[in-house]
Amino acid sequence: MKVLIVDDSPMTLALAQARLRDENLDVSCASGGVEGLVKAKKERPDLILLDLKMPDLSGYEVCEQLKSDPLLSAIPVIFLTAADSTEDKVKGLDMGAVDYVAKPFDPVELCARVRAALRVKRLQDLLNLRAQLDPLTELWNRQAMQDRLRQEWARMSRHEEALSFVMMDIDHFKRVNDTFGHPAGDRVLCAVSQVLTAQCRESDMPCRYGGEEFAVILPDVNSTAAAHFAERCREEIEKISLSAQSRVIHVTASFGVADSRDLHAREELIHRADEALYRAKHAGRNRVVLWECNEWASDYVREGQS
């Protein structure tokens, strides 16, 4: 885990750095408040040790800026303070610091407090991750997808890159549940999720949109490439074969694909992919339909085998 030490005293920096490196931590240093804020933004450490009295910005001012930045506010802060006054400690803790260490510090105590703060940070990270995952399939959930789409939309607008969105729905999924029971239906959802994950690049984001509906965000991908991606997924889903009650379950899925060209809001991207999915369903299911240039690109409707 990464620790950033912000202190204007070279002695303190050297001592704390040496001790924390012995703990197998990735340690970086900043010799003032301004540099500390820059490094915090760049490195996103798991913990910040922050001196209270520095010439450029005080520890309080740095802490205030960290806590007001949504990307940095979750990083725990431990104040390093020469001031032994209760008032300083209370003020620091009230500002959101998790702990303080009085200088000159005992290196053993410093390391123990750092370990304790990092234990809590690890648990918090784990809880945050869990809150973003669908518990059954372990794909990203709908809320995480909305957050990511907001970020990708902003990035795409800045760099004028492509952004594609795929909506997918398992065909006649209710029949699977009705015929084979919900545990079998859950196995189908997991198998489909694995197909989506296997077809995704590191930068893509597969998610469970709800029920038997899935979505994939494909950054830097135009709709033609996204349709090819969807077609690969469709073919792989057709190959899924699960046994239940001495019978074999086969499923198919329908896909709607859209990209961000000519769009002004990310909601329109979801809406277009959803419309394309609706059309795929009504054209007979087990197919990919691409939304393009205000017209239905029917040349990319590919029939399934069955």
Residues marked active site are found at 212
DSSP string, 114-136: HHHHHHHHHHHHHHHHHHTB-TT
**Nearer to Mg ion among residue 81 and residue 286 (C-beta):** 81
Annotate 137-184 with three-state secondary structure. CCCECHHHHHHHHHHHHHHHHHHCCCEEEEEEEECCHHHHHHHHCHHH
List b or e across 72-103, with b for residues whose CB sees 16 or more CB atoms inside 10 angstroms.
beebbbbbbbebeeeebbebbeeeebbbbbeb
- With contacts defined by CB under 5 A, name the span among 53-61, 102-110, 122-130, 226-234 that binds Mg ion: 53-61
Supply the minimum distance, in Å, between the C-beta of residue 17 and Mg ion: 15
Going residue by residue from 68 to 107, which x/- string records binding to Mg ion, judged by CB under 5 A? ----------------------------------------
For Mg ion, the binding residue among 19, 53, 91, 228 (CB under 5 A) is: 53
DSSP string, 218-230: EET--HHHHHHHH
**Nearer to Mg ion among residue 8 and residue 220 (C-beta):** 8
**Nearer to Mg ion among residue 53 and residue 232 (C-beta):** 53
Number of Cα atoms under 13 Å in the Cβ half of residue 43: 20
- With contacts defined by CB under 5 A, name the span among 6-14, 152-160, 175-183, 192-200 that binds Mg ion: 6-14
Extract the tokens encoding 261: 């060209």
Q: Does 8 bind Mg ion (CB under 5 A)?
A: yes
- With contacts defined by CB under 5 A, name the span among 7-15, 24-32, 142-150, 251-259 that binds Mg ion: 7-15
**Nearer to Mg ion among residue 10 and residue 181 (C-beta):** 10
Extract the tokens encoding 89: 């400690």
Supply the minimum distance, in Å, between the C-beta of residue 51 and Mg ion: 4
For Mg ion, the binding residue among 16, 40, 50, 51 (CB under 5 A) is: 51
Dihedral sign (CA 219, 221, 223, 226): negative
Q: Interface residues with Mg ion (CB under 5 A)?
A: 8, 51, 53
